[in-house]
């Protein structure tokens, strides 16, 4: 593949990410400005606030990325940007900044799907230019994408060729972590807080596992209600709520659901490897349980900082799109509900 040096912008939600990535693999800069502390005050993301912060942070983050990579505009081959899915106000900031930069510096523009970015985090490396690149993931690759907005099992046949095997029928895994975190009185975001509370705690109960019609689908809203009922029953009795034990029981149930379906899909489709991506893939219990239950099947998991939203993952996906001749122009628009370009998966749909 080409060794294009791409400036990548990610602004789909509440992280402002700007990165410089070479050949879709080598990170030269990866600057992320997070709004976590800001949204902790409201216990969640307020879209208007998130968009304003994107506007405030995008130029300073861009400057920091240039400094980190020690590059100038002359060294760049393209500008890439997330154009969906995500929050419209947040997306608009990145898309418009990237368009303006591409036009004013006469560089090609590449539009990237955020979910594709989470998948391509598995191609990233921070080995420096003097070292050989580690091998690329093999196909077919089964990808478990678990973020605040998505939970999908994607069978990737080749670059850019995706088949949707299953997805959540209600809440996304990250959304469930965040909602249950709030129920348990833990700080925002719930994912890392629940994970920290669960370390070393024994589960206070065993929450039921959801049944879904689709073989590889997930469902987390029943689990959230079960936690709510459990918390209410402690309150009714006037007993202290065992926050750590309930966090452990909830995490165990989510991890069990995600891992069981992933292992099943990996076996059914005889994949070359399994990969994870998205903020929930930073979860320690999920990482170790999946590795254990795959029993030696090759497993790729990006380091936690590349699982949560960042610009480098957009630069990775853009590297492959750019090499394949994919180009956007000034008509590129932000699309909040953008889906991956699914292959016609006839047998998958019929099996439901």
Report the interface residues with ligand KG4, using CB under 6 A: 13, 147-149, 174, 177-178, 189-192, 195, 278-280, 282-283, 308-309
Q: Return the number of the residue (23 or 181) whose C-beta is nearest ligand KG4.
A: 181
Q: Return the number of the residue (76 or 112) whose C-beta is nearest Zn ion.
A: 112
Q: Return the number of the residue (289 or 308) whose C-beta is nearest Zn ion.
A: 308
Three-class secondary structure assignment of the chain: CCCCEEEEEECCCCEEEEEEEECCCEEEEEEEEECHHHHHCCCCCCHHHHHHHHHHHHHHHHHHHHHHHCCCHHHCCEEEEEEECCCHHHHHHHHHHHHHHHHHCCCCEEEEEHHHHHHHHHHCECCCCCCCCCCCCCCCEEEEEECCCCEEEEEEEECCEEEEEEEECCCCHHHHHHHHHHHCCCCCCHHHHHHHHHCCCCCCCCCCCCCCCCCCCECCHHHHHHHHHHHHHHHHHCCCCCHHHHHHHHHHHHHHHHHHHHHHHHHHCCCCEEEEECHHHHCHHHHHHHHHHCCCCCEECCCHHHHCCCHHHHHHHHHHHHHCCCCECCCCCCCCCCCCCECCCHHHHHHC
Cβ of residue 217: shortest distance to ligand KG4, in angstroms?
19
Cβ of residue 77: shortest distance to Zn ion, in angstroms?
25
Q: Return the number of the residue (87 or 142) whose C-beta is nearest ligand KG4.
A: 87
Using CB distances below 5 to 8 A depending on partner kind, what does residue 252 bind out of Zn ion, ligand KG4, none?
A: none
Using CB distances below 5 to 8 A depending on partner kind, what does residue 50 bind out of ligand KG4, Zn ion, none?
A: none
Could you say which of 147, 151, 152, 262 contacts Zn ion (CB under 5 A)? 147
Using CB distances below 5 to 8 A depending on partner kind, what does residue 203 bind out of Zn ion, ligand KG4, none?
A: none
Cβ of residue 281: shortest distance to ligand KG4, in angstroms?
8
Cβ of residue 155: shortest distance to ligand KG4, in angstroms?
20
Q: Return the number of the residue (116 or 309) whose C-beta is nearest Zn ion.
A: 309
Cβ of residue 103: shortest distance to ligand KG4, in angstroms?
28
53 binds Zn ion (CB under 5 A): no
Q: Return the number of the residue (175 or 217) whose C-beta is nearest ligand KG4.
A: 175
309 binds Zn ion (CB under 5 A): yes
């Amino acid at each position: 593949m080409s060794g294009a040096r791409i400036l990548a912008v990610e602004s789909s939600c509440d992280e402002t990410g700007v990165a410089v990535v070479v050949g879709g693999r080598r990170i030269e800069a990866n600057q992320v400005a997070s709004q976590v502390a800001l949204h902790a005050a409201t216990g969640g993301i307020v879209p208007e606030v998130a968009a304003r912060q994107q506007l405030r942070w995008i130029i300073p983050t861009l400057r920091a990325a240039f400094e980190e990579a020690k590059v100038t505009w002359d060294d760049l081959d393209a500008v890439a940007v997330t154009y969906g899915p995500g929050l419209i106000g947040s997306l608009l900031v990145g898309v418009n900044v990237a368009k303006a930069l591409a036009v004013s510096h006469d560089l090609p523009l590449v539009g990237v799907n955020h979910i594709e970015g989470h998948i391509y985090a598995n191609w990233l490396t921070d080995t420096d230019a003097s070292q050989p690149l580690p091998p690329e993931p093999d196909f077919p690759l089964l990808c478990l994408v678990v973020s605040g907005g998505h939970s999908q099992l994607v069978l990737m046949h080749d670059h850019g060729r995706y088949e949707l095997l299953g997805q959540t029928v209600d809440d996304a895994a990250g959304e469930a972590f965040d909602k249950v975190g709030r129920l348990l009185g833990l700080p925002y975001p719930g994912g890392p807080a629940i994970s920290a509370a669960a370390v070393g705690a024994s589960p206070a109960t065993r929450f039921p596992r959801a049944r879904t019609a689709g073989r590889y689908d997930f469902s987390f809203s029943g689990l959230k209600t079960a936690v709510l009922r459990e918390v209410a029953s402690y309150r009714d009795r006037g007993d202290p709520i065992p926050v750590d034990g309930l966090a452990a029981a909830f995490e165990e149930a989510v991890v069990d659901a995600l891992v069981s379906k992933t292992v099943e899909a990996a076996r059914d489709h005889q994949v070359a490897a399994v990969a994870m991506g998205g903020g929930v893939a930073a979860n320690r219990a999920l990482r170790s349980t999946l590795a254990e239950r795959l029993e030696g099947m090759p497993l790729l998991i990006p380091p936690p900082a590349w699982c949560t939203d960042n610009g480098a993952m957009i630069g990775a996906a853009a590297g492959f799109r750019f090499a394949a001749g994919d180009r956007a122009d000034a008509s590129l628009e932000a699309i909040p509900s953008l889906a991956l370009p699914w292959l016609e998966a006839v047998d998958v749909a019929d099996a439901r």
